[in-house]
Amino acid sequence: MLTLSKRIIVAIDGSPQSDKAAEEAVRLASISGTKFKSQLYAVLVLPSMKTPSFTDFFPDKPATEMPGWDEKRDRLFYVVEKAAAEAAVQLDALVLYGDPAEELMMFAEEKGCDVIVIGSSGKGRMKRTLLGSVSTKVALHAHCSVYIVR
């Protein structure tokens, strides 16, 4: 069945590639027009918190509870929030914890998303081969379409 409204995820990490992906995701969401509203999710995935052991008397707080988080959050989501507001696109900005590729794919399945928009890694060939990249993992394993923005 053809549906003109879409559920779109854009991966945010504060990099220039992420900003380009955010602008492209807003453009995709705004194509459906005012009759068929698309939902855009901007997702920032932070490294998961280590599990506390008996030697940790004072475990680290999550990044979202550290001083200065509000300013950092505003900087990270600035481009996507500004673009979405200008295009009148409904936006939910979320922070998740865990492996970025895994969390993006699980969130996409959970919300029934149609496409994941993600910036290219920008890593060199050797580094990408050794370490892998989030965009490569998502493109290979996601159950929905993946749009990689360069």
Residue 60's pLDDT band (cuts 50, 70, 90): low
pLDDT in tens, 22-58: 999 999 999 876 667 899 999 999 987 655 555 555 5
pLDDT of residue 31: 85
DSSP state of 49: P
Q: Who has greater pLDDT, 10 or 50?
A: 10
**How many whole angstroms separate alpha carbon 76 and alpha carbon 93?**
10
Please state, rounded to an integer, the average pLDDT across all residues of the chain: 84
Cα–Cα distances in angstroms (integers) from residue 90 to residues 1, 38, 44, 124, in the given order: 23, 7, 17, 35
Q: Using one digit for the tens of pLDDT, what is the confidence trace for 68-105?
A: 878 999 999 999 999 999 999 999 999 999 999 999 99
Task: Please tell me the distance from the alpha carbon of residue 10 to that of residue 35, in angstroms, as a whole number.
Answer: 22
User: Structure pTM?
Assistant: 0.83
CA dihedral 92, 95, 99, 105 (to 10 degrees): -10
Binned at pLDDT 50, 70 and 90, residue 2 comes out as: very low
Sorted by where each starts, the structural domains of the chain and their CATH numbers stand as 7-49+61-149 (3.40.50.620)
Instruction: Give yes or no for a contact between 40 and 77, defined as CB atoms under 8 angstroms apart.
Output: no
Rounded average pLDDT over 111-137: 76
